[in-house]
Amino acid sequence: MNNYYYLVASLPDLTKDRALGEEDAGFFIREIKANCPPGALAAIEFLESGYEEANLTEDFYRKALSHKNRFLREWFRFDLNVRNAKVRYLNSALGRPAGKDVMPLDGGEFPQSQEVEHVLNGTDILARERGIDDILWKKADELTTFHYFDIDTVLGFFVKLKIIDRWLRLDEEAGRTMFRKLVDEVRGTFRGMESAHTEE
């Protein structure tokens, strides 16, 4: 089993039953960055830079859409489409020109557009935020399907921790629920990997 397996497996508390305490999702993000295999840190730092609003320029997305890492290319393509959908929704709601502040880049196919639009049209603010994050979570799952503890798995894990970290600030109970979900996902993957290893 490779270094990525041991990186995720060694994160404190991921295989224990207790909930998040003083160690928030940011703690695990720091652990990933401190212990990632050689050559992976640049990809993780690029992903992390995409969570700083000031960095989300047209130039950033151009770099992301041509990045050598598949997960980063596809993740930021999806992120671009979701952000543009949000801007278009706000433009419509506020009576602004339809194209105002929309990022002028081709995000390619966006099969989740109707799902995102449905969520954005909801009346409960927190439900809208949760709905969008559920869609992002599912996208991270899609991009890591059949990736077993390689760099894409670690990047997908990082994305989910960022979602959890945000919800711990918005709604602590929702954040804890998401964290328990992530723990269950990791446990399930470990069991699958260990079974496959035993059968070899």
Q: Return mean pLDDT, the chain.
A: 85
- Cβ-defined contacts of 26-35 (< 8 Å, 24+): 26/161, 26/165, 28/161, 29/158, 29/161, 29/162, 29/165, 32/7, 32/154, 32/157, 32/158, 32/161, 35/7, 35/10
pLDDT class for 190, splitting at 50, 70, 90?
low
Residue 75 domain-assigned (yes or no): yes
- What is the per-residue pLDDT across 47-71, written as a single tens digit (0 to 9) for each? 999 999 999 999 999 999 999 999 9
pLDDT confidence of residue 3? 66
Q: Is residue 191 part of a domain?
A: no
Q: Give the total number of structural domains in the chain.
A: 1
Task: Judge whether 47 lies within some domain.
Answer: yes
Whether residue 196 is contained in a domain is answered as: no
Q: pTM of the predicted model, to two decimals?
A: 0.87
Q: 170 lies in a domain?
A: yes
Please report whether residue 96 resides in a domain.
yes
Q: Please indicate, yes or no, if residue 188 is contained in any of the structural domains.
A: no
**Which structural domain range is residue 151 located in?**
3-8+32-175
Query: How much of the chain exceeds pLDDT 70, in percent?
Result: 82
pLDDT in tens, 140-173: 999 998 877 788 988 998 999 899 888 888 888 8
- In this structure, is residue 113 part of a structural domain? yes
